[in-house]
Chains A and B, each alone.
Chain A
Amino acid sequence: MDRREFLRTSALAAASAAAYRMAHGQPAPGPRTTPAPNGDVRWDKAPCRFCGTGCHVQVGVRNDKVVAIAADEKAEVNKGLLCVKGYHVGLALYGKDRLTRPLLRRNGKLEPISWEEALDIVAKRAFDNPAGFAIYGSGQWTIPEGYAANKLIKAGLATNQIDPNARLCMSSAVTGFLSTYGVDEPAGCYDDLDKADVVIMWGNNPAEMHPVLFSRIVDRRSRGEKVTLIDLTTRRTRTSGFCQHTLFFKPNSDLAIANGIAHLLVERGTFDKAFVDAYCNFRQRTEPPTLDGQAMTFEAYRRALADYTPEKVEAISGVAAADIRMLADLFGKRDLRITSLWCMGMNQHTRGTAINDLVHGIHLLSGHFGRPGDAPTSLTGQPSACGTVREVGTLAHGLPGGLVVTKPEHRKEAEAVWNLPAGRINAKPGYHTVELWKRFSTPKDKGGDIDTIWVMVTNPARSLPNINQLFEPSRSLPGKFLIVSDVYPTATAMAADLVLPSAMWVEKNGMFGNSERRTQQWFRMVRPPGEARDDTWQLLAVARRLFDRGVPGLKDKDGQFLFRIRDAAGAEVPVWDWKRYYDVNVDEQLFEEYRKFSRFKHKDLAPYSEYVKARGLRWPVVEQPDGTWRETRFRFARHDDPYAKKADIQFYHSVTKDDRALIWFHPYEPPPESPDRDYPLWLCTGRVIEHWHTGTMTMRIPQLQRAMPESYLEMNREDAKALGIADGEVVIVESRRGKIELPVWIDGRAQPARGSVFVPFFDERLAINRVTLEAHDPLSKQPDYKKCAVRVRKKERQPR
C-alpha cells in the first residue's frame, strides 16, 4: 500500500466510523478504526490545543513534522468528530514567524541573545526584588507547567504573586461553585448532554464556541430524539437557529430572570420540597460579600423573591412573562431532565458570582440535580482552565488541589507535600489580574509595587480589559520589565523587554484538564523549531539559578533543590540543563507530586501511567479493589460518586459542613455602566468559530484566516439605518476609555438587538479591549467584557 492509498483508507475508515456514530449514537461494532502505525506516518493521541471542550485528536507525524490530523474515535468527548479549528490544529505549529531565539530589548529593539543570558536576566529580576516579581500565566499552561510556576512563586519566593488569564474567563464560575457546594467544578459532565430533555443556554453560543458539544445535542434530534433547546441571549447567534425558544433579554437582567423562575417555583409549590429539605440550606449575601454569606430561612427566601413576578421580570429583562412561566413550568416537572450550560455570558459579569449562584439555586430548588441529564454545568474557554488554573491552584489565592493560602491548615498541608519548613507559605493572597496589571502600569512611587511580570502562554496586551490603562502605561514607565514566553510575536511579545521562545503543544510533553473534570495526557511528538524550549524547563532553569544564588525558598527543609527530579536509580538529574531535560519524564514526576494534593478535596487523580492509556479520566479517579482506576461522572450522587455514601445526594464539602448545598438569593441590580445620552449603545465582545481568543494561532492558519480575515462590528440594521451607516462601512466605536475603527457587518453571522453592538476580539490589529471596562465582580474579580456603554459614528472621509 503506498502512502496515498494508506491515507485514503485511513480517512475512509475514520469517516465511516464517525458516520455510524452520528447515525446511531454509539460506536460501530467491530474493531476500532483509529489510524494504524504506518512506516511513513506515525500516529499518537493528544487533546486539541484550543478550547476547553477537550476533544482528542490523532496526530500524524512524518519526518519530525505534524502532517495530518484525524478525529479520535476512541475519545468519549468528541466521538470521532472535530470542529473547524480542531482539524486545522496541526497547522498552528507552522506559522512562518515562530519565535526561535531569546530576544532582549536594547535601545528600543529586540535583539537575539543566548538562553544563558536570558535566564540570568529573569533570575536576577526575581532575586533583586522578589516582592515585585510576578508570573502571569494561563489556562493554556499544561498542568505540569502551571504546577511548576505555582510552586516557584508560592513555595520558592513565598510571595503569591501569580495569577492566570483564566481570571478573565471563569473565576466567577469558581466562586459560584465554591459558594454553592463548598468545592469547585461541575458536578455533572458531558454525558448529561446525551440524556437531557431540555438544554438551556444562559448567554452562551455553543454552536460557535463549543461546536462539538453542540453537535452532540443536535445529532440526538436528527436521530429522532426529542430535545428542547432554549437560548437565553442578548443577540441572535448561530445557536439561536437551532433552538425552539430564543428569549432575548436586556444585558445584565439575567439575575431577574433567574429570580423570576425561582419565585414561580416557590409560589406554585412546584419546587422539589423533598430535595430541598434533605440537601439544601438558604443563604443571602452580606456586606462586604463573602462566599459564606448569611443564613436565611425558606420564608425569608420566599419573601425576597416576592418582587420577581413574571410581569416585573418582563419589565426588567424584556423576556415575556409567558416565557418566564414556560421556564418555571419546565423546572417544575420532575420527569424532565434539564441541563443548563453557560460560559462567558454569565462569568464575565460584574454580578458573575451571583448569577452563577442563582442558576445553581434553580437546579437545586427544583431537584434537577444529580441524575444523568439534570445538571448546572459551566463550560470553559481554554484547554486547561480547569486542569491548570482551578485544580493546580494558580490563582493568586490558590494552592494545588483546591487548597488556599489564607487557611493555616491548607498551608500546613502544602508545606508537608512540598517538604517546606513550617510557615514558608505566605498567608496573604497575591494580586488578582486587574490589580496586578494596574500596579505594573503605575509608577513605583505611586503604589506600583510590581516591577516585573513574566507572561507565559497568553497575550494580555490584547486580552486584558481597558488595555489603555492596564497594559500600555507600563511600556513607558522606568523600571518596569516585561518578560514573555510565547511561540509567536504576539502584541505582548513585541511590547516586551525580554522574549523567550517556547515549544508548543505536541512539541513537548503535556497534560490538560477540560471542562468536565477530565485530565488528559500526551507525549512530545516533534521537536520545537530553532532554540524554542519547554515552558516547564524555563521555569526550572530559573528556579535553579535562584537556588544557586542562595535564595532560601528554593531549598526544601532538608536543604535540597525544590524541584528535585530523579532518574530510575534515584539520582538527581540536572534537568535545568536543556541537554538533560528529556533524560527523564519531568511531567510525570511533577504530576506524581501534584497528585498528592488531589485527595484533600476529593479531586483524586490516578497515576500518570493511567492517563497515558486513556483519552482522559474524570476526577475523582479512585482505585478499585482489583487495582484498576475508576473515574466519576456524576459528583455528589451516590449512584456514581464513591465519596457520596450517606445519602442519595451528599455535598461532602458543604460550606455549612452539614452535607448540604446553598440556595442563594441575590437581587437584580443595575450594572456599573449603562448606555446614556453620550454613549447610547451596549457593547458586547466575544469569539467566532474560526478563531480562538486573540487569534495568535488561528490567524496564522491560512484556511482560518481566510475564512474570517478581520474583525468587525456587528450592528442592528435599524440602528445602522438611524445613524446612516451602510454594511461594510468603517466606523469608530468609542467608550469613555478608548476607541478603534472597524468595518460594520449588518445581518451577518449574528444579529444584535437594537441598541447593542458586538465585536469579536480575535484580531490583534483591531483591539476592542481599548474600549472595554475593567469593572469586576467583587468576589471573583472577573471583569465584565459583555457590557459597557459605547457610541458608534461613521469615520469621516479623508479630504483628497
Chain B
Amino acid sequence: MTVSGLVITFMDTPEAASFALARLHEDARLLLGEPVANRLPIVAETADATSGETLVRELESIAGIARVDVISIDFAEDLDGPA
C-alpha cells in the first residue's frame, strides 16, 4: 500500500465545494483532515504509487475541486515489490 498526503483546494462556489466534499467522504481510500478555509488535507491509501497517481487524476476531475497538491508520498511497497 502507498500512503500519500494531499491538499485539496475547492472552488470558491460553496455549492460546488459541498458537492466535492460529499464525494470525498464517500471514497474509502481517503482519510479526511480538518478543512482550512477552502483547503482540505487528506491522506490517500492506494495499492501502489501508480494507483495513487490515478487517484489524483480522479480527484482533479471532480466538479468543485480546483486543484490537488501532493505533499508527501511513501513508495516503500513499490521498491519492495518484484524487481
Contact = CB atoms under 8 A, between A and B. Distances in A.
A702 B33 CA distance: 29
A67 B75 contact: yes
Given A8-B45, A62-B76, A67-B74, A16 B69 contact: no
Contacts of A69: 72-73, 75
A644 interface: no
A60 B2 CA distance: 14
Contacts of B76: 62, 65, 67-68
B7 A19 contact: yes
Contacts of A62: 76
Contacts of B21: none
A65 B79 contact: yes
B16 interface: no
A750 interface: no
A58 B31 CA distance: 22
A91 interface: yes
A702 B75 CA distance: 12
Interface string B7-41: 10100000000000000000000010111111111
Nearest to B53: A703
Contacts, number: 115
A11 B79 contact: no
B83 A14 contact: no
Given A7-B3, A67-B76, A19 B33 contact: yes
Interface stretch (A79-87, A415-423, A424-432, A583-591): A79-87
Nearest to B77: A67
A87 B49 CA distance: 11
A18 B40 CA distance: 10
Contacts of A401: none
Interface string A705-744: 0110000000000000000000000000000000000000
Interface residues of A, number: 40
B72 A87 contact: yes
Contacts of A88: 73
A19 B40 contact: yes
Given A16-B33, A90-B75, A702 B7 contact: no
Contacts of A600: none
B59 interface: no
Interface residues of B, number: 34
Nearest to A3: B76
A20 B74 contact: no
A4 B3 contact: yes
Most B CB within 10 A of own CB, among A15, A22, A58, A80: A15
Given A15-B6, A707-B53, A87 B70 contact: yes
A68 B37 contact: no
Given A70-B72, A94-B79, A15 B33 contact: yes
B61 interface: no
Contact of B5 (A15, A67, A84, A222): A15
Contacts of B79: 65, 67, 94
B1 interface: yes
A724 to B, nearest CB: 34
A16 B50 contact: no
A707 B1 CA distance: 21
Interface in A82-127: 82, 84, 87-88, 90-91, 94, 96
Contact of B72 (A68, A91, A94, A702): A68
B75 A15 contact: no
B55 interface: no
B43 interface: yes
Given A8-B3, A11-B5, A15-B6, A60 B74 contact: yes
Interface in A523-565: none
A19 to B, nearest CB: 4
A81 B5 contact: no
Given A8-B31, A67-B75, A70-B71, A15 B45 contact: no
A62 B34 CA distance: 30
Nearest to A91: B75
Interface in A1-36: 4, 7-8, 10-12, 14-16, 18-20, 22-24
A507 to B, nearest CB: 15
A707 B38 CA distance: 28
A15 B74 contact: no
Contacts of B72: 10-11, 14-15, 58, 68-71, 87
A44 to B, nearest CB: 15
Contacts of B33: 12, 15-16, 19
Contacts of A18: 5, 7, 41, 69, 71
B50 A11 contact: no
Most A CB within 10 A of own CB, among B4, B5, B6, B34: B5
B31 A12 contact: yes
B48 to A, nearest CB: 10
Contacts of B40: 19
A14 B71 contact: yes
Closest 6 CB pairs of A and B: A11-B5, A15-B41, A70-B72, A67-B76, A15-B5, A19-B39
28 contacts: A7-B3, A8-B3, A8-B43, A11-B3, A11-B4, A15-B42, A15-B71, A15-B72, A16-B34, A18-B5, A22-B39, A22-B69, A23-B37, A23-B38, A23-B39, A65-B79, A69-B75, A70-B5, A70-B72, A71-B72, A82-B70, A82-B71, A91-B49, A96-B83, A222-B38, A702-B50, A703-B49, A703-B50
